[in-house]
């Protein structure tokens, strides 16, 4: 719960996560609505509950709008995660109870980007090894283990990002990303279990938001956007777990 207290002690981060989750979705929805209205003309009778369904139908009937109608919603789904990743330095500083958000963002960004690349390579190797190890097992066993491996790699990514914000000479070295995996797999199992649970909750929130956005009515569109924003907050909580395990 110390990680949660860290997050609650920085309400500006919660506001940031909610804004990052809601604003791109609102912009994408407005763009999709406008594109549909232009394509369908006087026949555009759209309700927010089925907006994505209308977009799919519009794309099928009007191929010329495929690019804008698909690119903008896809970007809206990616932008929040990319934004919070880029702001890692400032977010970690706030979770540590320190000031200087802007300076921390720019100071840590190069190392965070470099370590992000290292981590992706190690994640691919890690997941491949797990896949090869569980391949002979029944699907009922193999799939959950692969899912667990992915969630562990998410926490390793958080630990890597936190360590990359420290102004040390080794923060550009690949051993930092490797050490984060070793930390997650061999030390502080309680923190790792918490992060895995939060990672699973993040995926559930993303899946629920996507389902509600596609299913539409009777669920209001704000529900999907709200769940997406909650997922962003859970992601910050997961990062706070990494901060806590590095300072405890």
Q: Which sign, positive or negative, has the C-alpha torsion 167, 173, 174, 175?
A: negative
3-state DSSP assignment of residue 212: helix
Helices and strands (H, E) in the chain, number of each type: 10, 0
Mean pLDDT of all residues in 203-221: 68
Whether residue 174 is predicted with pLDDT greater than 50 in this model: the reply is yes
Domain range summary for the chain, segments of one domain joined by +: 2-247
Residue with tokens 């500083």: 93
- Measured CA to CA, the distance from residue 24 to residue 46 in angstroms comes to 20
Selection from 184, 145, 190 nearest residue 161 by Cα: 184
- Mean pLDDT score, 158-164: 93
Cα–Cα dist 87/15, whole Å:
14
Tell me the Ramachandran region of residue 160: left when phi exceeds 0, alpha when psi lies from -120 to 50, beta otherwise. Answer: alpha
- The confidence score (pLDDT) of residue 27 equals 64
Report CA dihedral (40, 41, 47, 50) to the nearest 10 degrees. Answer: 10
Closest alpha carbon to 88 in 175, 225, 96, 75: 96
CA gap 14, 16 in Å, rounded:
5
Tokens 């719960």 label which residue? 1
In the chain, the percentage of residues whose pLDDT exceeds 70 is: 72
Look at 74-83, 106-115, 185-194, 219-228 and tell me which has the smallest mean pLDDT: 219-228
């Amino acid at each position: 719960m110390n990680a949660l207290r860290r997050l609650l002690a920085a309400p500006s981060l919660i506001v940031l996560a909610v804004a990052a989750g809601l604003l791109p979705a609102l912009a994408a929805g407005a763009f999709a609505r406008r594109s549909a209205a232009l394509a369908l003309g006087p026949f555009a009778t759209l309700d927010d509950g089925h907006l994505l369904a209308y977009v799919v139908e519009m794309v099928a009937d009007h191929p010329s709008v495929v690019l804008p109608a698909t690119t903008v919603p896809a970007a809206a789904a990616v932008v929040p995660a990319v934004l919070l990743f880029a702001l890692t330095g400032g977010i970690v500083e706030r979770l540590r109870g320190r000031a200087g958000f802007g300076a921390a963002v720019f100071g840590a960004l190069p190392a965070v980007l470099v370590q992000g690349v290292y981590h992706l390579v190690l994640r691919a190797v890690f997941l491949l090894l797990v896949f090869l190890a569980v391949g002979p097992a029944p699907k009922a066993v193999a799939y959950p283990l692969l899912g667990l491996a992915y969630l562990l790699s998410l926490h390793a990514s958080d630990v890597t990002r936190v360590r990359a914000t420290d102004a040390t000479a080794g923060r550009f070295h690949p051993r930092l990303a490797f050490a984060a995996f070793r930390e997650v797999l061999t030390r502080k199992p309680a923190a790792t279990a918490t992060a895995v649970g939060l990672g699973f909750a993040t995926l559930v929130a993303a899946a629920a938001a996507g389902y509600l956005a596609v299913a539409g009515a009777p669920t209001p569109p704000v529900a999907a956007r709200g769940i997406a924003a909650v997922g962003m907050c859970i992601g910050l909580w997961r990062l706070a777990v990494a901060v806590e395990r590095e300072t405890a």
